[in-house]
A and B are shown apart, each in its own frame.
Chain A
Amino acid sequence: MNLFRLSLAYLRRNALSALLNVLLLALGIATITVLLLFSYQVEQRLTRDAADIDMVVGAKGSPMQLILSSVFHIDVPTGNIPLHEARWVQNHPLVAGTIPLALGDSYRGFRIVGTTPRYVRHYGGAPAGGSLWDDDMEAVLGARVAERTGLGVGDRFAGVHGITGGEAVGGEVHEDHPYTVTGVLRHTNSVLDRLILVSVPSVWKVHGYDHEAGLGPEHEHAGGRPAQDGAVDGNGDAQSDDEGAQGPDDERELTALLVQYQSPLAAVTLPRVINSRGPLQAAAPAYETARLMQMMGIGLDTLRAFGWVLVIAAGLGVFIGLYNALKDRRYDLAQMRTLGASRRRLFNHILTEAIMLAVMGALLGLALGHVAAEVLGQSFRQTQQLEITGAVFLTQELWLVGLAVAVGIVAAVIPAVQAYRTDIAETLGRGR
């Protein structure tokens, strides 16, 4: 026999009310746990996806939309920007490096992104099989895309016009411009996993801006391939391009440029300069992400408060249960003192009972929370870019257990003090 088993025996006797309190507590803790897991993973993901991108340049519109569409690939783009404007940004002395993005098509709900290998490197991506593209109409699949579509190296597929919606996109299929898969990327736990990556000229080609192929709607270009990875990349690690023919009448466009500053000072002037250029807009991922988290935070706070209400209600239930039971138990308590139990023992006995309820409720709540996060995550996975899982464990959860125990202790203090005060002679002398 010990206090633990003694308290357990009393809990067993009042199993129903104990169970109700445990469940109530568990629901509260589960709610808070789900929110914790969600906001943590969303924040992780947003931070990771936006890491080391100082600025995004795209078409005028909502800066939030620009960030959502070109960094997180959730929203539709604000529009496109002319290639020569992009080049201007790229050549600006305050700009250290840029990554071009050309959006427009998708395959079974996954976006086809015209970009440069630098984009893959930016997220630490590397081929798990095959290699990166080195020619137009070659595609590299993010890990999740490969899993979902079943495509592998050597397979061919055709993009669908439009990037919104899931697999049921009714857009025009670019049958005449199929891509060939040259590589599949490893998991990066970044936005890369859900993208299909191709060269920028591939996107132009599909949309008829390819001059070489003679599909350019207005005019012809003299030399070979009009724009190379390296040229747009600014790294110059591919071929040099025929800049000469560039001009405002060039039809070719990019959707956005991901920009890294030359120095922190650039943040002061560059966005203003860019915003003053006709079609361009500059947006800071850090700022917009913070804004996004804040907006989301308000909704989450409400839910979290609801979770705490449940926890407090459970605490109240524990208090009422113990307090009422104490009337019946005062003879037991006096008898225990007769058997040699000290006042402290009785105090701890009541406290142990509440702590046991709290720990059971908290652990059940954590388990429920993780299961719920996993189930919700699974159902989100079908439709959303975000991948939420229940298999993430945070140190805050330990805090949650601690707080639940604290609630239990607070609930038990008054009954425990009453137990402490049990007067043996008074109780047993007159009690019949």
Chain B
Amino acid sequence: MLGIRDVTHRYRDGTTITLPNWQAQDGEHWALLGPSGSGKTTLLHILGGLLRPQRGQVFIGERRLDQLGERALDQFRGQHIGVVFQTLHLVDALTVENNLRLARYFAGLSQDRNQILEVLDRLGVAEVARHHPHRLSQGQAQRVALARAIINEPAVILADEPTSALDDKTCQQVLELLTAQALACHATLVIATHDARVRGVLEHALELEPAE
């Protein structure tokens, strides 16, 4: 189970986002929709333990993220949550393989080369394992970022605007990859986007009201 209740977040500059109560069952795929500025990214960051809401409760399974200590939250995030940002933020100083290793390392998990290559293979990018990210095509980079998000077999996969900058065909492929990989890890998937093309693809959707 993944959900929020009575969550309000106030940014330092005073911008206040009030989010609706919401919850998803394990393994469900959700689209988080709404116009720009409606708070999709804010909600995603809160779900991912990247942002502590000023008020309210955040559940993942039995856990209350809002009640976890700093270090425990870091560890929980590393082990149970995979995030793909619109800007992929692959670490360019490291090879593709080592980017995945980094995810294992920070989560405190074993770094098995075979497992890493297997995940890369599953996403069709095993041949670039030794390349640095700047040498990858946009499509390859997308897949590597997704590989890094799922390498720890997370319970929740969060994607922020994964398709916005893509053409229809690539958009379709990325959505298929995301859903397929979420299915493969039995993870709950939440895609935040203002991209209308995503609307019909996922079984569930949460519409955020535009901020006034």
Which of these binds chain A: B58-66, B68-76, B136-144?
B68-76
| CB of A345 closer than 8 Å to a CB of B | yes
**Cβ-closest chain B residue relative to A10:** B93
| CB of B91 closer than 8 Å to a CB of A | yes
- Decide: A1 and B102 in contact? CB cutoff 8 A: yes
A340 to B50, CA, bound (A): 10
- Decide: B87 and A331 in contact? CB cutoff 8 A: yes
- Decide: B106 and A340 in contact? CB cutoff 8 A: yes
Which of these binds chain A: B78-86, B120-128, B166-174, B180-188?
B78-86
CB-defined contacts of B48 to chain A, threshold 8 Å: 338
| CB of B45 closer than 8 Å to a CB of A | yes
* Pick from B86, B91, B108, B111: contact of A335, CB under 8 Å: B91
- Decide: B51 and A431 in contact? CB cutoff 8 A: no
Task: Count contacts on A: residues with CB < 8 A to the other chain.
Answer: 27
| CB of A341 closer than 8 Å to a CB of B | yes
| CB of A429 closer than 8 Å to a CB of B | yes
* Pick from A1, A9, A340: contact of B77, CB under 8 Å: A340
* Pick from B87, B98, B106: contact of A431, CB under 8 Å: B87
| CB of A6 closer than 8 Å to a CB of B | yes
Decide: A331 near B89, CB < 8 A? Known: A339-B78, A425-B51.
yes
Chain A nearest CB, measured from B166 CB (Å): 15
Decide: A428 near B50, CB < 8 A? Known: A332-B89, A339-B106.
yes
Interface residues of A, Cβ cutoff 8 Å to B: 1-2, 5-6, 9-10, 12-13, 331-332, 334-343, 345, 424-425, 428-429, 431-432
**Cβ-closest chain A residue relative to B132:** A13
- Decide: B93 and A425 in contact? CB cutoff 8 A: no
| CB of B101 closer than 8 Å to a CB of A | yes
What are 27 A-B contacts defined by CB distance under 8 Å? A1-B98, A1-B104, A1-B105, A5-B98, A6-B93, A6-B94, A6-B102, A9-B98, A10-B93, A13-B92, A331-B87, A331-B89, A334-B89, A336-B102, A337-B74, A339-B103, A339-B106, A339-B148, A340-B75, A340-B108, A342-B74, A424-B50, A424-B51, A429-B45, A431-B87, A432-B86, A432-B87
CB-defined contacts of A10 to chain B, threshold 8 Å: 93
CB-defined contacts of A332 to chain B, threshold 8 Å: 89, 91-93
Task: Count contacts on B: residues with CB < 8 A to the other chain.
Answer: 33
A335 to B75, CA, bound (A): 14
- Decide: B83 and A338 in contact? CB cutoff 8 A: yes
A50 to B86, CA, bound (A): 77
**Cβ-closest chain B residue relative to A5:** B98
A2 to B108, CA, bound (A): 10
A378 to B86, CA, bound (A): 64
Chain A nearest CB, measured from B120 CB (Å): 15
- Decide: B51 and A345 in contact? CB cutoff 8 A: no
Identify which of residues 96-118 in chain B touch chain A, using a CB-to-CB cut-off of 8 Å.
98, 101-108, 111
| CB of B41 closer than 8 Å to a CB of A | yes
CB-defined contacts of A2 to chain B, threshold 8 Å: 105
A36 to B106, CA, bound (A): 43
A425 to B83, CA, bound (A): 12
A337 to B77, CA, bound (A): 9
* Pick from B50, B75, B86, B93: contact of A338, CB under 8 Å: B50
CB-defined contacts of A339 to chain B, threshold 8 Å: 77-78, 102-103, 106-107, 148
Decide: A429 near B41, CB < 8 A? Known: A1-B101, A331-B87.
yes
Identify which of residues 142-156 in chain B touch chain A, using a CB-to-CB cut-off of 8 Å.
148
